[in-house]
């Protein structure tokens, strides 16, 4: 029985899906105007692991995670570079997917783009106007926040307190609104911005309506799990609930899951403090498997502190698992006996207890920290009970047991084979030839391959330089 801490009820609840054996899950994806940062990486890794565990338990998971590809930040970046917003978003969607692959994140069942769902957004806004939950003023459409009686049920905020005590939460343009707390569903076109035709004039959607529409299109009016960072609880997820439930008159999402913030050296990550790291920058110093392992070493609802010391500790811990797997493979390959020995039955039976402890940890609100502890207990047990004189069957089954638990966490147990200097130089020459032939896809592929092997390339005036990281 899986227990999930539901932000909506502020307690753990037994997970019962809407449809037996199936899970509909939506997770808010990044706004693609730059490389993703390690704060973006945490929900990606957390909810990929949730999905993997649900699949391990036999559920068929329809996992949808969007890309927000129209936004003020994207437009600003496009104007700075003198290119289209679409060019910026497409570039960073590809870069994001590359980083996700490095973190061993499975592609979603669907990765919808906001700009491809504008028609659905116009339909939902029209429906909200018809039901008197929204109104248009001078080309802007606002949602009547107070008309949705349950507004605030996710964030546990009171509307009157919001209005009286925290003006910073109010959206601009108050003179047009019926109520200062009403939020934007559609905004009119500005010069130099992408826009789409609508019944209220050319413009573009507000951020909140995008997720409501994409979730409904790909998962239906009701979903099982909605996930994201805790910074999205208010106003984004609160507004999603208001929009979706005002339209459908049904409970939008049964379980709301939110991961806690990531700090850097015990301080909030920010560009002004100079402690802002992208996943790409991290990949130049560490294999992204180490970043994943580090993220899973804490419960997703606990604040997580990122530091070089903790990353080094994660590197060493991951190597212990990989070394144990290598040793078991060596033992299996060189075993004198193939079949399981009589005394080894008890060893395998005891090993199952560690797997059970793993499942119990994950059943308890996806406690990956305790699940990893169970993996280490199994590694220690294998190191003690499998060695010279063990049968091939015992070594193989213990190895597979460790690997199967790691697969659920998305942790790769194979050590990367180090390239020889001559191999590296050969690949650099091949990359140079590919660039000369304008085969940039192959050139990028070689760079990525080398990076995966821990080789960082630097293009300089003197030529290509490389170093091991």
204 and 186 in contact (C-beta within 8 Å)?
A: yes
pLDDT value at 405 more than 60: yes
**What is the percentage of the chain residues whose pLDDT exceeds 90?**
80
Determine the pLDDT at residue 66: 97
**Could you give the 3-state DSSP secondary structure of residue 434?**
helix
Q: Residue 20 — very low, low, confident or very high, per pLDDT cuts 50/70/90?
A: very high
Angle at 252 between CA 251 and CA 257, to 5 degrees: 110
pLDDT value at position 270?
73
pLDDT at 170: 47
On the question of pLDDT at 422 being above 80, the answer is no
Contact (CB, 8 A) for 374 and 354: yes
CA dist., res. 465 & res. 437, Å (int): 21
pLDDT at 274: 72
pLDDT at res. 418: 64
Query: What order do you get walking across the sheet with 60-65 strand by strand?
Result: 60-65, 22-27, 223-229, 253-259
Question: Tell me, which fold does domain 279-409 have in CATH?
Answer: Isoleucyl-tRNA Synthetase; Domain 1 (1.10.730)
Best CA proximity match to 398, nearest among 344, 359, 361: 344
What the block records as the tokens of 56 is 């391990």
Q: Tell the residue number behind the tokens 């037996």, with chain if given.
A: 20
pLDDT of the residue at 432: 87
CA dist 383 and 326 (Å) reads: 11
Structural domain spans, the chain? 18-259, 279-409, 421-468
Let me know: does 211 contact 219? Beta carbons within 8 Å.
no
The proportion of the chain whose per-residue pLDDT surpasses 70, expressed as a percent, equals 97
CA nearest to 317, candidates 288, 293, 282:
293
pLDDT of residue 164: 63
Of 3.40.50.620, 3.40.50.720, 3.40.50.150, 3.40.190.10, which CATH number belongs to 18-259?
3.40.50.620
pLDDT digits (tens, 9 = 90+) for 133-175: 999 999 999 999 999 999 999 999 988 877 765 444 444 556 7
* Rounded CA separation 317/334 (Å): 26
Alpha carbon 460 to chain centroid, angstroms: 34
Spacing of C-alpha 289 from chain mean position: 14
Place of tokens 């979603």: 108
**Chain-wide mean pLDDT for the chain?**
93
Q: pLDDT-derived band of residue 327, with 50, 70 and 90 as boundaries?
A: very high
Q: Cα–Cα distance between 127 and 290 in angstroms, integer?
A: 47
Q: Identify the pLDDT of residue 169.
A: 45
356 CB burial (10 A radius; 0-12, 13-18, 19+): exposed
Predicted local confidence at residue 77, as pLDDT: 95
Secondary structure of residue 469 in the 3-state scheme: coil
CA-atom Rg of the chain in angstroms: 25
The pTM for the full model equals 0.89
**For residue 117, what are the CA distances in angstroms to 85, 140, 205, 315?**
16, 19, 10, 42
Burial class (CB in 10 A: 0-12, 13-18, 19+), 219: buried
| Residue 293: predicted pLDDT | 98
Structure tokens at 127: 């429906």
Q: Which comes out higher in pLDDT, residue 60 or 192?
A: 60
> Is the dihedral angle over the CA atoms 271, 274, 278, 279 positive or is it negative?
negative
Cβ pair 49, 298 in contact under 8 A: no
Q: Is the pLDDT assigned to residue 416 strictly greater than 90?
A: no
Give per-residue pLDDT as tens, 236-290.
999 999 999 999 999 999 999 999 999 998 888 877 777 789 999 998 889 999 9
Question: What confidence category does residue 14 fall into, taking pLDDT thresholds of 50, 70 and 90?
Answer: very high
């Amino acid at each position: 029985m899986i227990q999930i801490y539901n932000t909506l009820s502020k307690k753990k609840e037994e997970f019962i899906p809407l449809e037996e054996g199936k899970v509909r899950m939506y997770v808010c994806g990044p706004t693609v105007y730059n490389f993703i940062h390690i704060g973006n990486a945490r929900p990606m890794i957390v909810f990929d692991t949730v999905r993997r565990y649900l699949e391990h338990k036999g559920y068929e998971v329809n996992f949808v995670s969007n890309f927000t590809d129209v936004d003020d930040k994207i437009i600003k970046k496009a104007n700075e570079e003198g290119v289209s917003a679409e060019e910026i978003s497409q570039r960073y969607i590809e870069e994001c997917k590359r980083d996700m692959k490095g973190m061993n994140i499975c592609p979603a069942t669907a990765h919808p783009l906001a700009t491809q769902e504008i028609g659905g957004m116009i339909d939902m806004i029209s429906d909200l106007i018809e039901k008197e939950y929204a109104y248009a003023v001078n080309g802007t459409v606002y949602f009547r926040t107070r008309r949705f009686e349950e507004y605030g049920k996710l964030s546990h905020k009171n509307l009157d307190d919001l209005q009286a005590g925290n003006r910073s939460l109010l959206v601009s343009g108050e003179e047009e609104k019926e109520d200062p707390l009403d939020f934007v569903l559609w905004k009119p076109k500005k010069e130099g911005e992408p826009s789409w035709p609508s019944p209220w004039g050319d413009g573009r959607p507000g951020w909140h309506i995008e997720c409501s529409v994409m979730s409904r299109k790909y998962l239906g009016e009701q979903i099982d799990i909605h996930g994201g960072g805790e910074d999205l609880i208010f106003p984004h997820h609160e507004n999603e609930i208001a929009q979706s439930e005002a339209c459908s008159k049904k409970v939008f999402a049964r379980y709301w899951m939110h991961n806690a913030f990531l700090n850097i050296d015990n301080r909030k990550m920010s560009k002004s403090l100079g402690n802002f790291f992208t996943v790409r920058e991290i990949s130049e110093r560490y294999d992204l498997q180490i970043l994943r392992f580090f993220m899973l070493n804490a419960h997703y609802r606990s604040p997580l502190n990122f530091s070089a010391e903790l990353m080094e500790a994660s590197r060493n811990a991951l190597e212990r698992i990989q070394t144990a797997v290598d040793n078991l493979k060596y033992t299996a390959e060189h075993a004198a006996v193939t079949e399981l020995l009589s005394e080894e039955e008890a060893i395998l039976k005891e090993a199952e207890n560690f797997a059970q402890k793993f499942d119990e940890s994950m059943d308890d609100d996806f406690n990956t920290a305790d699940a990893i502890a169970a993996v280490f207990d199994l590694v220690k047990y294998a190191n003690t009970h499998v060695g010279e004189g063990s049968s091939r069957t015992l070594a193989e089954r213990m190895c597979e047991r460790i690997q199967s638990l790691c697969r659920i966490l998305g942790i790769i147990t194979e050590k990367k084979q180090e390239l020889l200097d001559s191999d590296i130089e050969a690949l650099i020459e091949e990359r140079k030839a590919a660039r000369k032939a304008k085969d940039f896809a192959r050139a990028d592929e070689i760079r990525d391959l080398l990076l995966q092997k821990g080789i960082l390339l630097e293009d300089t005036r003197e030529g290509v330089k490389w170093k091991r990281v």
